[in-house]
Amino acid sequence: MAALEGIEVTGPLRERYDEILTPEALGLLAALQREFGARREELLEARAARQERLSAGGTLDFLPETAGIRADDAWRVAEPAPGLVDRRVEITGPTDRKMTINALNSGAKVWLADFEDANTPLWENMIEGQLNLRDALDRTIDFTDPRSGKSYALKDDGELATIVVRPRGWHMVEKHILVDGKPVSGSLVDFGLYFFHCARRQTEKGKGPYYYLPKMEGHLEARLWNDVFNLAQDTLEIPRGTIRATVLIETIPAAFEMEEILYELRDHSAGLNAGRWDYLFSVIKKFRDRGTGFVLPERNAITMTAPFMRAYTELLVRTCHKRGAHAIGGMAAFIPSRRDEEVNKIALEKVRADKTRESEDGFDGSWVAHPDLVPVCREVFDGVLGDRPNQRDRLREDVRVSAGDLLNVAATPGEITEAGLRNNIDVALRYLATWLDGAGAVAIHNLMEDAATAEISRSQVWQWIYNGVALKEGQKVTKDLVGRLLDEELAKIRAELGDAYNEPRYDQAVALFKEVTLADEYSEFLTTPAYERMP
């Protein structure tokens, strides 16, 4: 595509891409990038500086400079926008055509339309996802599965889920769109294209352009988003406050700034979400080199009842309801099996227990990853909410959480076994091979795995090597041990998949896994070197 005032699109322009990559839409992206690109880079540098302080023995605490905001009981976020009042069940998933239809039809109140962790940032996925959202709003979307021949279409009767788009995090770029010779922020691309094409479509339907904001580490990053929203709304002459955003509290620094994040976004806020898997990843990442006091047990042993996780979710509910905002619970990763009744029964029991705890803690709704889990989650929240759309009036003033509670990682029960180490290797390999092939949400061993769970798996392996952790069976976790188990797990995968084994993809996955687990330097995000390997 010819350069349009310093804008260059280097990705292939397939059928209908010109409907999304219009000169006007690209102009908005360029305006956002030129206005906010430098600030984004400064905030990423601030993240790195914080990490250096933590690695040198520093800690995290509630900010003294924003104590006034926390102490001021008067302020509240905006009242919930249309379509976001009742959020008792939210379904998450990528924006491919089939998922778009199934999610909107699912009976969930909200669909998190994901350009982030459940998606792979292939150029085709990003642009076709935008087309699918626009087609869904125009009700021109349909899909026929080329393998099964099954057809999918939006239902005519009943309510469709409210669309809430999750753009990529601030650390990601879109290498196929350049402004003044530099790649544009992936966050701004995903936000801006949806806003440009769908904001008016949504307001005409009585709703609005709504977003989920991932991977934030503090209130200054939220302030940047708020400024992005204001410029975009002013540019399209849409009233300020039309955009609404729910922030995922999925990094441990952000847990210390929840009130400030709500305050920065107060005119655009739709609450906070407990992004549990990325939160675990963040705890491991931030304190990876701080000794065994910050070493967590194997992934499958860490539950939401661990003291530090309990502190985080309880504080989130209290913070949100104090400020009139929704508190949304985290992902149930278990996925039902339509073939194995016993697996199904166990999965449904675990999901029900998870959602029951959240509903009783005061959450206003929660996430599921599969349409079959929508009725389970809805039934649990119906039991607590009844006819009320939410329980924002449940203030949880009984909750008292200190900085020490949020950092009490050492009290987490559980152990580290060879089976746990093998599971981390197996899941990371399977996920990476699929991610590199273009799919970001993958069913592995009856769990819906996305980038967050792969991040936990590889980060734990790195941390166990770095700290010389001993397994329950006695052997010390070393690079040599991990290398041997890697070969064994790969052989098992090859035997299991047979003819379906994709050798080039698994070769790439192994190389990437070694890069992010066996290197002396820790990689901040798995998706960054993975994206570099993509066309």
Active site residues: 166, 450
* Cα(251)–Cα(16) distance, integer angstroms: 37
Both tokens of 210, joined, read 């709504």
Instruction: Region of 498 please: left (phi>0), alpha (psi -120 to 50) or beta.
Output: left
Q: How far apart are CA 514 and CA 506, in angstroms?
A: 12
d(Cα 211, Cα 188) in Å, to the nearest integer?
Answer: 12
| Length of the chain, in residues | 535
- Residue 433 contacts by C-beta under 8 Å, 6 or more apart in sequence? 502, 505, 506, 508, 509
Q: Hey, CA dihedral for 438, 439, 440, 445, is it positive or negative?
A: negative
Q: Which residue has the tokens 């619970």?
A: 329
Residues 6+ apart with CB under 8 A from 398: none
Which residue is associated with the tokens 């260059």?
A: 8
Q: What is the DSSP letter of 471?
A: P
Strand 7-9 with 173-179, pairing: antiparallel
Contact (CB, 8 A) for 335 and 446: yes
Angle (CA) 390 392 396, round 5°: 130
Six-digit token pair at 3? 């350069």
C-alpha distance from residue 328 to each of 80, 285, 394 (Å):
13, 24, 14
